[in-house]
Amino acid sequence: ETGVTQTPRHLVMGMTNKKSLKCEQHLGHNAMYWYKQSAKKPLELMFVYNFKEQTENNSVPSRFSPECPNSSHLFLHLHTLQPEDSALYLCASSQITAGASPYEQYFGPGTRLTVT
Amino acid sequence: AQSVTQLGSHVSVSEGALVLLRCNYSSSVPPYLFWYVQYPNQGLQLLLKYTTGATLVKGINGFEAEFKKSETSFHLTKPSAHMSDAAEYFCAVSQNTGNQFYFGTGTSLTVIP
C-alpha cells in the first residue's frame, strides 16, 4: 500500500449504530487529520494529531471520537449519529517540522458515510 | 483569521480553451497557498503550492497559478483544457505557523468536447 488509505470506502449506518473509520498513512508523516466534506461547503477540519497528540478539535460533537494509537494510524469512532452527519470523511497526513513552512497534506480517498 | 473565496462554483470550458479558476484569500500574515484537485470518488491531490519566492508557480498537468499580493489572489490557469481536467478544484490557504489549512468551497470544472 502507498500513500494514505481509508477503510471502508462506503458505510451505511443507522442512527443507533456504532462504527469506526480507519485511516493509515504509509508516508512516514507525523501529523494526521480528519476532515468532513459536505456538498456545497468548504472542507471542515475536525481533528488534528501531531506526533499522536490531539492538537485541534474544532467544536466537533462528541458523537465523533478520534483515536490515534501511533503516527501511522488514525480512527474515527462514530456513535448515535444524525442524518446531517452524512458526508465524505477524508483523512490526511503531513510532515510537520518545527520552524519550517507548512508542507502539503496528502489525502486518502475518503469514506462515504450515509446515516439512515 | 484566514479564509478563501472561490468565485464560480461551476466553470465550463471547451476542450482546448483556456482554464481560469479564481481564488481570493484573506490572511493577517503572509500566506501559503495551495491548489488541490479532486476526481470523482478520490481524495484531494496537490496540484501546486506557493510558499515563498517566485510568484508564478507551475504544477502538475500543465497548471500554473500566480500569487498577487496586491489583489490577494491566487488564480489557477491552464492554457489548453483537456477532457481529463474535468474535476473539482479547491484553493487552500495556510499560515506560516501551525498546520491548519483553510479550504474554499471548490469549483467544479466541466470540459466540453
Site from A25, A29, A101, A112 to mutate, B interface, most B CB atoms within 10 angstroms? A101
Amino acid in position A104: E
How many residues can be counted in chain B?
113
Model confidence pLDDT, tens digit, residues B34-89 = 999 999 888 899 999 998 888 899 999 999 999 999 999 999 999 999 999 999 99
* Predicted confidence band of residue A114 (pLDDT cuts 50, 70, 90): very high
* Predicted confidence band of residue A54 (pLDDT cuts 50, 70, 90): confident
Q: Given this model, what pLDDT does residue A22 score? A: 98
Region A25-42 average pLDDT: 90
Reply yes or no on whether the pLDDT at A17 is more than 60.
yes
Q: Do B105 and A110 touch (CB under 8 A)?
A: no
Among A40, A48, A107, beta carbon nearest to B44: A107
Q: Given this model, what pLDDT does residue A55 score? A: 73
State chain B's mean pLDDT as an integer: 91
Model confidence pLDDT, tens digit, residues A76-112 = 999 999 999 999 999 999 888 766 666 788 999 999 9
* Predicted confidence band of residue A51 (pLDDT cuts 50, 70, 90): confident
Q: Given this model, what pLDDT does residue A6 score? A: 97
Among B41, B49, B103, beta carbon nearest to A43: B103
Percent of chain A at pLDDT exceeding 70: 95
Angle CA A115–B3–B9, to nearest 5: 60
Q: Given this model, what pLDDT does residue A101 score? A: 60
Q: Given this model, what pLDDT does residue A39 score? A: 82
Q: Given this model, what pLDDT does residue B30 score? A: 74
Reply yes or no on whether the pLDDT at B25 is more than 90.
yes
Per the model's pLDDT, the better-predicted residue between A3 and B31 turns out to be A3
Place of cell 461551476: B10
With contact defined as beta carbons under 8 Å apart, do A61 and A77 qualify? no
Site from B3, B36, B99, B108 to mutate, A interface, most A CB atoms within 10 angstroms? B99
What are the contacts of B68-73 at 24+ separation with CB within 8 A? B71/B24, B72/B24, B72/B25, B72/B26, B72/B27, B73/B22, B73/B23, B73/B24, B73/B25
